[in-house]
Structure formats: structure tokens, C-alpha cells
Amino acid sequence: MHAWRPPDPWQLAALAIAAAVLLPLLALSWTAAQGSPGLWSHIAVYVLPRSALNTLALLAGVAALVVAIGTGAAWLVTAYDFPGRRVLAWALLLPLAVPTYIVAFAYLDLLHPLGPVQGAVRALLGHDSPRDLRLPDIRSLAGAVLLLGFVLYPYVYLTTRAMFVTQAASLLEAARTLGAAPAALLWRVALPLARPAIAIGAALALLETLNDIGASEFLGVQTLTVAIYSTWVTRGDLPGAAQIALAMLAVVALLIALERSGRRRQRYAATQRPRPMQPLRLRGGAAALAFGLGALPVAIGFAIPAASLGWQSAQRLSGHGGLSPQLLESAWNTVAVAAVATVATLLAGLVVAWALRLAQRRRRPALAAASLRVAGLGYAIPGTVLAIGLLLPLAWFDDAANLLLQAFGGAPRMLLMGSTTALVVAYVLRFLAISVGGIEAGLTRIPGSLDQAAASLGERPGSALARVHLPLLRPALAAAALLVFVDTMKELPATLLLRPLDFETLATRLYAEAARGTYEEGALAALLIVAAGLLPVVLLARAGSVHGGERRA
């Protein structure tokens, strides 16, 4: 038997980070238990049924839509060749650059009874007053399903297209040789093989749906996320909000189980060395129809809202003489807090990934692997739930710090709760999985022989990381930093709950302008967020051009 050895400092640090991820969940349970039985019965009767039904209906509708659009688009650009196919292959990723609340913000203005769309329809039909003709209101559950579906389908498109491209072409060509029509080829061969990838993409899209608060609130849909926010902010009822958050975590657990199930079954599709499938050439009307079908989700999920925001921003700039000081302050706040959170998230991710690398080298990966899995939980937890769970630990820290301050004659202060530190902590826990995943992927590309060579020359693990691995990790670190930075810029739920007083980011300013109905004022903030969101989409598009079988001869 091997003698037990205590964990090294890297593993202890990784365990501490994992504990920090779990702490809000434990605190959430503690907070929920502080509510009275009468409070829970009130929530169970009057709040949960409506919110839960709306949430489940929203999830079901979004799941059906993202699977249909994402799978159809992936098959279209993989199985067929037509003019514009290469452009569509990357353009179908563009809705990822637009957060759901920004799409809802844009369409609320476009489809408002006094907006340009309904105005144009009334003018075309000869009506003067909005009372004479009104289109169906987008502020509905159906409207939320449509908008969220056309924004989140790229999650299914990415995973499913990767599966279609890497499937063994011989299987599909054998089916063609046996006389299978294109529809039969899709339904009987391609889809069964791609089912795990579809499940993974759909689970990711549904987790984003659960995290949404802006679009659901703008469109008048009372989801669990909206119920948590209103219960805490409007009613000041933290135990009640925590109880609703626990119910929401049950839904999250089901979605994670779906994603894990799909990942376990993903192995059987690659039974032989794949080669790209030869696409079927389309011409004439069929080619035009294929391009139109592929361009439709891009137009609805990206082009139309982006053009609307651009037009509103131009109107705002031309009519008011430039950017307002409030918007500039919000932009600076966003960049500053996102930069600090990105650095902290990268450092934490580097510790967890490096601890796993050391543990694997020493054949003791159990603790480090557990830390890695726990670190990935934060991304699955909706921002609203994470923020509610953090309120109690942050208050505990402030209370303990104030005891020390008073012991030395200092005045009590809100050290965390009254500063942007709370936001940074929430961002780090929420997006740690992105950092860990990117850095771990970068480390796997570094040969283990370099570790052995550094150890033989007397380098300690920290020195080897700094002098050998970090220079080789620069591309992975840069990609992870970009993704974390953009996601922190777009994060709305956690920012709404944890930001200090009089502290606005671009996301919260947009939320406030939408609540006031001043769409032109919020368009500039929305456009800046969309512009930042385009950066990781460009990276994905470039990666897809290589891994998606789009190599040029």
C-alpha cells in the first residue's frame, strides 16, 4: 500500500477554489431554511405554479425551436453545396453575439404599436390610427419562445455541424448507394448518429434560457428567474427568493443530466476514421431556396436587431450631439470590472488546470479532477441564483471584517456588499469553467516530456509553469480571456442584484432604459455590447473554417 501524502499547495488551492464555487449553493440552502412555513406555503401556492409552468413551457418551446433550426442549418451547410454556402456556414454563428435581452429590446421597439413595422403595415393598408389595426403583441410567451429560439440555435448548430462533418462519410455514401433519398439519409442515418450532439447543444441553449432575465421581463413572461429577482428586489424577501432559486436548481440539474447523458453516448458515432462528406450540388431555384432558408435565422437573430440598433444609435448621436457622459461612465465601468474579473478568472482557472496536470503526472488525479468538475458548475448556475447564494457569504465576510475593524478602532463599512468586489467574485465563479476549459485544453497540447525535463533540471512546479508552460499557453490564455471578458460585459442577472448603488454597466443601463421605454437611449449601450460579442464569434468562425471541413485547396 502507498503511504498517504498530503495534497500539495496547488491541489489545496484548487480545492479552495472549488469550495468557493460550492459555498453559494450551501448558503442558498441555509437562506431558504430561514423562511417561515407560511412563507413557503404562500410561494408554493401563488408564485411557483405560474412561474414554473411558464418556465417549463418556455424551455419546451425553445428546445423544439433550437433543435429544428440548429439541426436543419447544420445539415443544410454540410450536405448541400450552393452559392453563398461558405458565407452561411460562419454567418449562422452571428446570433451568439447578441444577448437575448438585447434582441428583445430591439424587437420591442420594432414591433411596438407606434413602431416602424406596424406603422408601415398601417400605411400600406390605408389605416391612420393604431386603434384601427394592431398586429399580435410580441409581449407573450410565444414571442419569448420565438426570439430566444432564433438567438440560441447556434449552440445546437455548432455541436451538430461538428458531428455531421466528422461522421464517417462512408456510412452516408453507402446509404446513398443503396438508394436512400436525401430526406431518408438525414432521418435514418445522420440524425441517429448526431443525437448526442443535438442533446448537448440543446442543453446549453436551455441553460442560457434559464439564465435570461431581461428578455423574459421585457416580454412579460413570469419565469422562475424573474420571480427570484422580483421577490428579492421588489419585496425584499431573501428567504423567499432563495426558495424559488432552489426550485430552479432542480431544473438546472435535469438539464445537466441531459447534457451528461448526451456526452456519454457521443463515442459510438466515431467508429472509424472520418473523412468529409461530399456535399450535393444544388442549382437554380433549389440553390436560392437553400440560401434563403439558411439566411432566415441569421436575419431574425442578428441582422434585423443589429440594423435596428445601428439606426437608433445614429438617430441618437445625430440628435443629441454625441455620447452622453452617463453612457461613457457605464462603458468605463463595464470595461474596468470586466478586465479585473477576467484577470482573476484566468488566475483561478490556471490554478485548477495546473493542479490537475501535476496530479495526473504524479498519478493522484482524484482530488484535482473533483476540483475541476466542481469549478465547472458555476457556468451551469443561472446568474440570478448565484447572486442570491452569494448575498449571505458576502454579508458574513463583511460582518467578520467589521469586528476586526471595530477592535482596532475603525468604523464599520460594507467592504464587499458595497463595492464592485462582489461583482468580480460573482463573475469569477460564474465564468470559471470557461477559463479552466480553455487552459486545460492548452495544457493537453504541451508534451509531458517538457514537465519531465523541467523536473530533471530541478525546476519546481511553479517555476516550470512560469518559465516553460506559460509562454506556450499564450494562445489558450488569450482565447479564454476574450471569452470571459465578453461574457462579463454581457452578464445582466448577477449584475442587477450585486452592483453597488449608482454603479451602472452597459447591460444595466440598457435594462433601465428599456424599463423606461427610452429605446434610443439604450440602443448605443446595446450596440457596444453586440460589437464586443462579435469578437468571440469571429474566433469561432475561424475555428469552424478549419475543423468544419472548409479547408481551401
Domains by residue range for the chain, with CATH? 1-25+323-516 (1.10.3720.10), 35-268+284-322 (1.10.3720.10)
The DSSP result for 209-260, as a single string, is: HHH--HHHHHTT---HHHHHHIIIIIT--HHHHHHHHHHHHHHHHHHHHHHH
**Which residue matches cell numbers 452516408?**
172
Provide the pLDDT for residue 171.
Answer: 62
Q: Which of 69, 76, 150 is nearest to 107 (CA)?
A: 150
Cα separation of 388 and 244, whole Å? Answer: 10
**pLDDT tens-place string over residues 439-481:** 888 888 888 777 778 777 777 877 888 888 888 888 888 888 9
Q: Which is more confident, 137 or 491?
A: 491
Q: Is 306 in a helix, a strand, or coil?
A: helix
268 — pLDDT class (breaks 50, 70, 90): very low
Cα separation of 424 and 419, whole Å? Answer: 10
Could you give the C-alpha distances from 198 to 98, 110, 190, 532, in angstroms and in order? Answer: 22, 32, 11, 28
Angle between helices 421-444 and 366-375 (to 10 degrees): 130
Cα separation of 448 and 464, whole Å? Answer: 12
Query: Of the ranges 32-36, 230-234, 411-415, 424-428, which one carries the lowest mean pLDDT score?
Result: 411-415
Provide the pLDDT for residue 59.
Answer: 94
Q: Which of 492, 484, 489, 497 is nearest to 390 (CA)?
A: 497
Q: Which of 211, 245, 251 is nearest to 33 (CA)?
A: 245
The structure's pTM equals 0.86
DSSP state at residue 142 = H
**pLDDT tens-place string over residues 112-166:** 777 777 777 777 777 777 676 667 788 899 999 999 999 999 999 988 888 777 6
Provide the pLDDT for residue 270.
Answer: 46
Q: Is 80 in a helix, a strand, or coil?
A: strand
Cα separation of 207 and 265, whole Å? Answer: 20
* Beta bridge mates, 81: 281
